[in-house]
With several copies, the nearest count.
Chain A
Amino acid sequence: MTFTLDAVLAARRFEVSLSLEPGETVAVLGPNGAGKSTLLSVIAGLVRPDSGRAEVDGRVLFELGAGMHTWTAPHRRGTALLAQDPLLFPHLSVLENVAFGPRSAGVPRKEARDRARHWLAEVDAGELAGRRPGELSGGQAQRVAAARALAVDPDVLLLDEPLSALDIHAAPLLRRLLKRVLAGRRAVIVTHDVLDAYMLADRVIVLEEGRITEDGPTRDVLRRPRSRFAAGLAGLNLVPGTVTAGGLRSGDGLDFAGQHDDPLAPGQAGVAAFPPSAVSVFLDEAHGSPRNSFRVTVTDLEPHGDQIRVRAGELSADVTPAASADLGLAPGLEVYFVVKAAAVSIYPA
């Protein structure tokens, strides 16, 4: 445990305990007003909890409560926060905004600018370098703010909804960039998008009304949600395995045809992800376009909204009650789970 946090903030009904391993990225999900941004602000040192303690690599960030007043100022915490609002410094150009962090860390001006240019290019905002923040569109500002936070190269990176306001081309680009940057880095990322949580984080926590209601590896939480909120998130099928040319071979030797999200090298570890709603259930093998057809044994049936979730070991399918009745689905029955390759995304693990 090299990062630990315990914090209570009564005014916002916030009471959270959290710890991060070195290099671990945690995604924070939860409804509006649950305390996600508050959590980041507490870690960054912008909001002072009523009591609690935080420590990173043996350094105490704060220790507050009866008689305790240890408090490390934000700029010494080694954290960088991408807040929900871009908050670009209005008097500085875009380039100077991004160079601000490196400059503050003592990097010489020229090098800081080079670094800023690098990160601007990474978020596809290189041509905005000379503008003032007031001359940017919402999505442009969001990207520049992301570049500014990334340019700091902090011990703990705190990202509050980094992908909102982005267009359909920019969002995947930034998602891939974050995936790369967050690899092996301690980070906390707030998002409303399950796919982001899955792609970017090792672990997910769900915050509801200021408290953590779920905490665990992303796959587990998404697959078997216990909280009301997480239950609303799609229960993704996640199959780990080895990347192949056209998809992924699971540990059990099943071949999944799918879409490679990124250029992936065959042989590397990967995961196939697809929603239960994309899985069709057949009693017999049928010859059709779907590339994936697996013979499985139904283990469980449970209602899921107005659908029936059919579990077969690690995999699940959502079907209408009518279909379930029609096919006579019951635990122990052997069926075929059929999924189109277009519905299966393959990610690096």
Chain B
Amino acid sequence: MGRPRGNAYSGIPRWVVAVAAVGALLVLLPLAAMVARVNWPQFIPLVTSESSLTALGLSLRTATASTALCVLFGVPLALVLARGDFPGQRLLRAFVLLPLVLPPVVGGLALLYAFGRQGLLGRSLEIAGLQIAFSTTAVVLAQTFVALPFLVVSLEGALRSAGSRYEAVAATLGARPTTVLRRVTLPLVLPGLASGAVLSFARCLGEFGATLTFAGSLQGVTRTLPLEIYLQREADADAAVALSLLLVVVAVVVVGLSYRGPAPAGTGSRPARSAGGQGTA
């Protein structure tokens, strides 16, 4: 006897709710324990210290830029992987997924080998007057490298789930592939794109190892909040916890504002013809 509040069907078995509660506890308990440990009198000066605020600002700026790059490159990659049909597709997918498993520090090394001074492209880049290492660009590059697969995987899943029926209809109405992409495909997979972007942004915000290895750690230039936290921890674990809380609050605000968990109506693949059984409320 469920009691949906809207007038649509939603039958969640009760045991599912129970298990979900345990799962939520698994995540919430450590967070609560962390909050309980914060040394509040010390908290305000610590999080408002110049180094913390600089690091926070840098983190937000770089994570935003990296997420934008992830969307820029990830959407086409996901499209090609989901809709394309070419030899080597599975291999490409596997490779694009690799940064997921690479320990971030090693990812940073790989980036060094590619874009560093002595790296594959380093010579050419240096001739072009581009110096990536130890710059904010390096931070963005590192974050993009580790976060790109998150966007690609989420979006590819959403694209496959959505199917291509509406795209086909749009094409028969005379829409060019680019128009179809902009006006049909992307709006339909918006929930998937949103979760992918949120995942990427979060991954960028928390990125540590690759940045440290590839970009270094200099206040205001390459020392993002996680690097700052790591350093603070050397002095005082509690200080690190307090700073982390700052990161968490920022993340909750940003994620909470941007990712509303789009309403089921108007999403993906709900066919236009209503069987009358799908209320939108």
> Within the complex, are A and B direct neighbours (CB within 8 Å)?
yes
Interface residues of A (CB under 8 A from B): 9, 11, 37-38, 40-41, 44-49, 69-75, 78-81, 83-92, 100-101, 103-105, 132-138, 141-142, 145, 148-149, 152, 154, 158, 160
B173/A45 in contact, CB under 8 A: no
Partner of A100, one of B168, B170, B265, B269: B170
A329 to chain B, nearest CB (A): 47
Q: How far is the CB of B181 from chain A (nearest CB, A)?
A: 12
- How distant is A185 from chain B, measured CB to nearest CB, in Å? 16
B179 touches A104 (CB 8 A): yes
Number of residues on chain B facing chain A (CB within 8 A): 45
Contacts of A40 in B (CB 8 A): 276
Known: A11-B281, A89-B166, A90-B267. A74 touches B171 (CB 8 A): yes
B261 at the interface (CB under 8 A from A): no
Residues of A within 8 A of B2 (CB): 71, 73
**How long is the Cα–Cα vector from A91 to B176 in the complex, in angstroms?**
19
Closest chain A residue to B275, Cβ basis: A83
Whether A91 touches B187, Cβ cut-off 8 Å, given contacts A41-B277, A72-B1, is: yes
Provide a sorted-by-A list of 21 A–B residue pairs whose CB atoms are within 8 angstroms: A9-B7, A46-B8, A47-B7, A71-B4, A75-B173, A75-B176, A75-B177, A87-B275, A88-B273, A89-B169, A90-B166, A90-B188, A90-B266, A90-B270, A101-B174, A104-B176, A134-B265, A134-B270, A136-B272, A158-B172, A160-B276
Nearest CB of chain B from residue A323's CB, rounded to whole Å: 45
With both chains docked as a complex, state the minimum distance between the C-beta of A33 and any C-beta of chain B, in angstroms: 11
Mark interface residues in B1-30 (1 if CB within 8 Å of A CB, else 0): 111101111010000000000000000000
Cβ of A78: which chain B residues have Cβ within 8 Å of it? 174
Which residues from B are CB-within-8-Å of A149? 173
In terms of DSSP, what is the predominant structure of the interface of chain B? loop
Closest chain-A Cβ to B215's Cβ sits at a distance in Å of: 40
* Residue from B8, B174, B270 within 8 A of A104 (CB atoms): B174
In the assembled complex, B76 has its CB within 8 A of some CB on chain A: no
A152 touches B3 (CB 8 A): no
Cα of A44 to Cα of B184 in the assembled complex, Å: 18
Q: Is the CB of B7 within 8 A of A141?
A: no
Cβ–Cβ contact A141 & B272, under 8 A: yes
Q: Which residue of A lies closest to B188 (CB)?
A: A91
Instruction: List, in ascending order, chain A residues with CB within 8 A of B175's CB.
Output: 75, 100-101, 104
- Is B39 close to A, CB under 8 A? no
CA distance A104 to B183 in the complex (A): 10
Nearest CB in chain A: distance from B28 CB, A: 29
B173 close to A87 (CB less than 8 A): no
Given that A83-B277, A132-B266, A137-B274 are known contacts, is A71 also in contact with B174, CB under 8 Å in the complex? no
- Cβ contacts B243-281/A at 8 Å (1 or 0 each): 000000000000000000000011111111111111111
The answer to whether A88 and B272 have CB atoms under 8 Å apart is: yes
